[in-house]
Structure formats: C-alpha cells, structure tokens
Structure 1
Amino acid sequence: MKPSGKHHPETVKWTDFVVPRLPIPKLEDTIRRYLAAQRPLLDDDQFRNTEKIAEDFKIGVGKQLHKELVAQDKNNKHTSYISALSFDMYLSAREPVVPNYNPFQSFNPDPKLEYNNQLIRATNMVCSAVRFMKTLRAGVLEPDVLHLNPAKSDTDQFKKFIRWVPSSLSWYGAYLVNAYPLDMSQYFRLFNSTRLPKQGRDELFTDEKGRHLLVMRKGNLYTFDIVNRDGNMVKPAEIHSHLKYILSDEN
C-alpha cells in the first residue's frame, strides 16, 4: 500500500506541471464583456444608462482600482491575482456553506451488485480514499488535464514527451496539443482539513498528521484510525469492522 515514490518513466505526475498565473484582463475588455452580458437584460434606456456608468467607472475610480490590482499582482508573483480575493469571499461569507458554495458528489450503483451493500461500499470507498491520499502525498498522482484533442494528448506518446519537458515549460508543451493541466494546488485540503470559525473571516486548517476517519450517523460522531503509525492503511477488514459497529449502534 505504501507508494515507493518511484514511477514508470512514461507516467506524468501532477507535480510535473507548473500552471501559469492568470493574467489580469484589460479594464476595457472587462467592461466590454460586462456590457455584452447586460444587453439582453435591459431595455434601450436602461442600457444607455449602464453604458454611461461603465464609461465613468473606466475613466474614474475603475482606472485607479485597476492600477492597484496590477501593482498587487506584481508583488505576489507566487499566486494568481484572483486567489486571495476568492479565499476572502469564501471564508468571509456568512451564508450556509452547503449548498451555496461547496459542491457535492453522487455515485452511480456499482456494476457488481454485491458491492452496493452499504457496509461493503463504505469500506471500499474508505480504502480507495486512503490510497488516493497516499498517492497524492507521495507526489505520484496523475495530473488533472482537460483534453480538447485526446487523440493527440491523452496518449502514451504525449506522456513520453511531456515527462522530459521542464516543469516550468510543461504547461506550454501541453497547450501545443490542446491539453490544459488544471490547478491542483488545493488538493492537499481534501484530507485532514476543516474550516475554523472566526470573527469576520474563517480560517482553513490542515493537520496532515491526523490518522483517523470521522463518521457521522444519526447525529452521533465516531472516529477510528485508518492509517497506522507507519503511514500505511490499516487492513480493510479492520475498517469494515469499525463501520459495522457504527451501523449496528442503536444510540
């Protein structure tokens, strides 16, 4: 179960890609796109008024705000200009996180009918999640890539090529064949992470030393270790036993 850190020379790791920073669009282009979005929603008088407000913004306060945004971007070259704004919006919002911000997942029935039993499926999902976590932390997880021409990019030939391109240039190499590696910098928060409530703006907290799983059922909270002290997943039978007890608990 423990990844060795070694990988086949044709395997592309998510750490092989450095996703470029988002460029700041020109203020004129932003205003143009905004007006194009408003046009179907407004009558002629309303749209002319909106055009005037947008033009005043462009030559007035908007010009100064854009200048400040560009300066801030130059002083934070380690990230994209939208990152801090996105985190502030998410962590400062006081509406319910679910369903307003967080996505959810649903699962299709397993092709093997016997695997659709609640206990068996829960056990399998926990084991799969631990394997995914260990692959991620070992740095050998394959990257998320949007393949617009998979016949060229989702191939062994492309993987051989991109493995030998420096990570700082690999994104552009993928771009040449219409493949777009996606940002995976927040993947580490998929595990051992929580949102700590604070006044005004919450905080994200991650403790990668955590070894337990939290299960919620009928208003009760249960925890048990799914990773041992050596960092390896405990036996699936042990996970199955813990979940079986939780499902049978009448409290």
Structure 2
Amino acid sequence: MKKTFEYDDKLPALPLPTLEHTLERYLDSVRAVVDDNEYANTKKVVERFAKGIGRELHEQLKTNIEKRQERNWLSKWWDEEIYLKWRLPIAPTISMTGFNCLVPPETDSQLTRICVHMYACALVFETIREERYPISYVGKHPLTMHQYKHFFNTCRIPHKGCDELMSVFRTVSEDPRRPPTHVVVMRNGHMFMFDLYESNKLLTPPEILKRLEDIVQQSDQSPGLGLVLLLHYHEMNGQK
C-alpha cells in the first residue's frame, strides 16, 4: 500500500496557464450569469486587458514563479486572499478544513454524537500520522495530499491585515514523538481542554462521553466570559 504522502515530492509543479486560456475560461464562466449586452461589454473589457496591463501582469507572475521556484504558485495566494485575510466572522462562515457530521441528529443526544465524532476524528488523525490514509486520484493520476497535514495540530494566529497559519503536525516518519492530542470544548462562555489519549492510548467513546458530561455539568453552574465571541468580531475588534 502506498503511503499517504508518498507522491507529494514527486508530482510536477502546478503549471501556469497562458493568459489567453485564463481569459477564455473567465468568459465561459461569465456567460452563464449575464445577458447578451453585458457579455459583449465584458468581452471588450477582457480584450483590452489582454492587450494592455494583463500581458504585463502575466509576465510579472511568470517571473516571480521562476524566482521562487514554487511547486504550487497558487497555494500561498489562495490561503492568504481567500482565508487568512477574511475579516467577516470566521465561524460558521468559513473553514479551511473540517469533517461532516458522522452521526444523524436523531441519534440519542448531542453529547453522544460529539463523542463519536471526536473518536472518529482521532482515528483519522492516527491514519494520517501513520500515512495509512488512502491517496486521492483523478483517474490514474495521484493528487497531492499536502493539505491533510493541516487537518490537525494547526491553528490560525490573528494579525492585522492577514492572519497566519501555524502547524506542528508531523507524521511518524518525520517525528516519532506524538504531537498535541488535546481537544478544546467551548460551552456557555467557558473553554475546556482535555487530552484524547491517556498513556498513549486513545480514549474510548464512553470515556470521552464522561468528560463531555463533566464539562456540561461545570459550565451549567455559571456563564463564562465568552471569549469565543471574539471569533465573530470584525478584524479590529477581534485583535483587541
């Protein structure tokens, strides 16, 4: 069986499309949402762009890629512009990685669903860390699995203008020492933390459930400071 990240250093670098190809794709996407007059005007703007500043910008981009020798010239720009500069509420409007609910809502209780979800996420964590997670393919062609290293042990550090991603995730082959395995639970304005492992052994779902029940009992005694609300504030409020 191939290891999860086996192909990552062997895959070709992301190619830069020609300016003509990019503009053709743009016009194709625009055509579905504008009428004939709007499309005709848009096409004129695109043609002027292609003959003017567009050519200059494309050459600058090509030069920058060659200087930096980046394997994925789009990655840094995408992370910063689409995610890290986002200044509207982060939760629940945006998430770089995440998992869908694993248990239907009608099953028993919220705590039961959460503990099963936590346990399943921990199993995924182990699978990725041990590089047993299956590689994604398009036909016979493998895709990079690099983003899977950001599923766990990664946090977003707030800064003015553009935030920063910090990750301490390591596979077993990179570092045999186990990275952080705690989880943070927020309830009723309180923040709690507990480790999903004891003596290097993953807690069972009933053991996780017991810890969640303790959190509910403690948080019900009084409302907390609600620091988690900072996630919903605009940039300047959140940084303060």
Same fold (TM over 0.5): yes
Q: Are 1:37 and 2:29 an aligned pair?
A: yes
SS of 1:221's equivalent in the other structure is: strand
Q: Which amino acid aligns with 1:109?
A: P
Q: Which residue of 1 aligns with 2:6?
A: 16
Equivalence map 1:39-58=2 (5 Å): 39-40=31-32, 41-44=34-37, 46-58=38-50
- Match of residue 210 from structure 1: 180
Q: What's the TM-score once normalised by structure 1's chain length? A: 0.70
Q: Distance in 1 between matches of 2:153 and 2:28?
A: 43
Give the drift of 1:144: 2.8
- The answer to whether the Cα contact below 8 Å between 2:155 and 2:165 also exists between their aligned partners in 1 is yes
Deviation track 1:11-40 (CA, whole Å, cap 9, x = no partner) reads: 232223234332211111112222233345
Give the fraction of aligned pairs with identical amino acids, expressed as a percent. 29
Q: Partner residue of 1:174?
A: none
Tell me: CA distance 1:123–1:62, structure 2 relative to 1, closer, same or farther (3 Å): same
Aligned residue for 1:233?
A: 202
Structure 1 residue 180: deviation in Å?
4.3
Task: Please state how far the C-alpha of 1:101 moved relative to its aligned partner.
Answer: 3.0
Given the superposition, is the C-alpha separation of residues 37 and 234 from structure 1 closer, same or farther in structure 2, using an over 3 Å criterion? closer
Amino acid at match of 2:130: A
Contact 1:109 1:116 in 2 (8 A): no
Structure 1 residues 98, 183: closer, same or farther in 2, change over 3 A?
farther
- Corresponding position: 1:246 with 2:215: yes
TM-score computed with the length of structure 2 as normaliser = 0.73
2:18 and 2:211 mapped to 1: Cα distance? 56
Runs of 5+ unmatched residues, structure 1? 1-10, 147-177
2:193 counterpart (212, 223, 248): 223
Match of 1:70 in 2: 62
Give RMSD over aligned pairs.
Answer: 2.7
Higher relative contact order (CA 8 A, sep 6+): 1
On the 8 A contact 1:192/1:207 being kept in 2, the answer is yes
Alignment of 1:1-251 (within 5 A): 11-18=1-8, 19-40=11-32, 41-44=34-37, 46-89=38-81, 90-102=83-95, 105-109=100-104, 116-146=108-138, 178-208=139-169, 209-228=179-198, 231-234=200-203, 236-249=205-218, 250-251=220-221
Which residue of the partner structure matches residue 236 of structure 2?
Answer: none
Change (3 A) 1:235 1:98: closer
Structure-1 separation of matches of 2:46 and 2:134: 44
Give the Å deviation of 1:225. 1.5
Q: State how many pairs are aligned.
A: 205
Q: Deviations over 1:127-150 (max 9, x none)?
A: 22222212211222222335xxxx
Describe the superposition over 1:77-130 as per-residue Cα deviations: whole angstroms up to 9, x where unpaired.
3421211110120211212223443276334539xx9x7444443333222222
Query: Unaligned stretches of 5+ in structure 2?
Result: 170-178, 222-240
Q: Do the aligned partners of residues 139 and 61 (structure 1) sit closer, same or farther apart at CA in structure 2, a change above 3 Å counting?
A: same
The Cα offsets for residues 133-192 of structure 1, whole Å up to 9 and x where unpaired, read as: 12211222222335xxxxxxxxxxxxxxxxxxxxxxxxxxxxxxx244333212222222
